[in-house]
Structure 1
Amino acid sequence: MAWPSWHVSTRLVVIAEYPSSAAMLAMVKSPDYQAIEVHRMAGLAGQLNIRTKMMGG
């Protein structure tokens, strides 16, 4: 199927790696992060944020 010329694909995957769960928790509890949380949530509207971990590493 050919997409119309105005179609913009939203099929993106972003992978972020943190040193540890504690490091991520410290980040999300920081005042700087909390100040922009409303914008982060708006950007994730309708998207999934899935926590995973590497196997066998």
Structure 2
Amino acid sequence: MDPSDQYYVFFDAHGVDDDRADRAVLLKLIEFLGLERIDAPAGAAEGEVWVRTEARLDVECARWS
């Protein structure tokens, strides 16, 4: 979890081998949408996918809530 609210963290606390197919789909979607993916910081769980927050994601995530 990102306490700074600057990033979305996907597959929080999952290992890199968990949900491999879902991670592959997510990574392609991130690339397709042109979102800024960053390297997970030191201490993050293996397999986490970190993406910088963006207005488009904020709107869509709010719709799911």
Is the shorter-chain TM-score for this pair beyond 0.5, marking a shared fold? no
Q: Which has the larger radius of gyration?
A: 1
Larger strand fraction of residues: 2
Query: Larger relative CO (CA 8 A, sep 6+): 1 or 2?
Result: 2
The TM-score with structure 1 as length reference comes to 0.32
The TM-score with structure 2 as length reference comes to 0.30
